[in-house]
């Protein structure tokens, strides 16, 4: 009877993580705001540079807003309210680094490394990179990544529970640890397909 109860509880835990684990825009924005607080010391505050970058970014956002109005984009963009993406809170920032890169944390902040700015030959090249970063927000890629992590956690919990049941009294803890570890490694392996 105890084995059946453990299996039922583990299954319900796994299902609750999968179904209740969908990242909301609000959660992504909050996580991104926390990351911005950590990155803020590296953000360049020069008003002229920041103003230029934001002006180019605002044109990118305005174009995306028009595309959204016309119904372009993935189903996730059209299914959820997206007005927050087009407001004045969307900010582009320069980060002082010799790395040739740009990134977003999915919320209302996008970052361009100064090296990328220096190597961009035209404003169009710069705008293309900025549009790419904004597209991650537009398509809610960070939220989808968080959902994949929730699913991996649920799978690890389910495999841990199954391992406990399979191991019985003697080896339940050991098998549970093996099952959970296998689930986490499998989730990490699958998620590698979504990284650079």
**pLDDT tens column, 100-150:** 999 998 889 999 999 999 999 999 999 999 999 999 989 887 766 666 666
pLDDT per residue as tens digits for the range 38-74: 998 999 989 999 999 999 999 999 999 999 999 888 8
| DSSP state string for 142-160 | HHHHHHHHHHHHHHHHHHH
Q: Is the pLDDT of residue 13 over 80?
A: no
Task: Among 116, 139, 162, identify where a domain stops.
Answer: 139
Same-domain check for residues 135 and 155:
no
105 lies in a domain? yes
Question: Which is more confident, 77 or 4?
Answer: 77
79 lies in a domain? yes
Q: For the chain, how many structural domains are there in total?
A: 2
Q: Is the pLDDT of residue 12 over 50?
A: no
8 lies in a domain? yes
36 lies in a domain? no
Predicted pLDDT at 123: 96
Same-domain check for residues 127 and 60:
yes
Same-domain check for residues 125 and 165:
no
pLDDT per residue as tens digits for the range 21-48: 587 888 888 888 998 999 989 999 899 9
Question: Which is more confident, 151 or 17?
Answer: 151
pLDDT per residue as tens digits for the range 156-193: 777 777 778 888 778 777 777 777 777 767 656 665 55
Domain hosting 162: range is 2-21+145-194
Predicted pLDDT at 173: 79
Same-domain check for residues 47 and 114:
yes
Task: Among 99, 119, 139, identify where a domain stops.
Answer: 139
Predicted pLDDT at 18: 47
Same-domain check for residues 49 and 118:
yes
30 lies in a domain? no
CA-wise closest residue to 175 among 189, 185, 162 = 162
Same-domain check for residues 6 and 90:
no
Predicted pLDDT at 184: 67
Q: Which residues does 113 contact at the CB level (< 8 Å), separation at least 6?
A: 94, 95, 96, 97, 98, 99, 100, 101, 102
Same-domain check for residues 79 and 150:
no
Q: What is the CATH number of the domain that holds 116?
A: 3.30.2010.10
Same-domain check for residues 56 and 105:
yes
Region of poorest pLDDT, from 3-7, 86-90, 91-95, 120-124 = 3-7
Same-domain check for residues 17 and 82:
no
Predicted pLDDT at 194: 52
Same-domain check for residues 97 and 70:
yes
Q: How far apart are CA 24 and CA 107, in angstroms?
A: 11
Same-domain check for residues 93 and 153:
no
């Amino acid at each position: 009877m105890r084995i059946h109860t453990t299996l039922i509880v583990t299954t319900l835990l796994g299902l609750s993580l999968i179904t209740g684990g969908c990242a909301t825009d609000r959660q992504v924005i909050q996580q991104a705001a926390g990351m911005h607080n950590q990155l803020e010391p590296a953000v360049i505050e020069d008003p002229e540079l920041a103003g230029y970058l934001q002006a180019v970014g605002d044109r990118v956002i305005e174009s995306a807003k028009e595309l959204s109005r016309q119904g372009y984009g993935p189903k996730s963009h059209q299914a959820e309210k997206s007005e927050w993406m087009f407001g004045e809170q969307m900010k582009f920032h320069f980060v002082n680094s010799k790395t040739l890169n740009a990134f977003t944390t999915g919320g209302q902040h996008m970052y361009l490394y100064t090296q990328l700015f220096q190597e961009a030959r035209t404003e169009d090249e710069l705008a293309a990179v900025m549009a790419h970063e904004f597209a991650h927000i537009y398509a809610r890629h960070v939220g989808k990544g968080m959902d994949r992590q929730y699913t991996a956690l649920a799978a690890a919990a389910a495999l841990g529970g199954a391992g406990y049941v399979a191991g019985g009294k003697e080896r339940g803890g050991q098998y549970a640890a093996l099952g959970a570890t296998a689930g986490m490694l499998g989730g990490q392996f699958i998620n590698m397909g979504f990284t650079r």
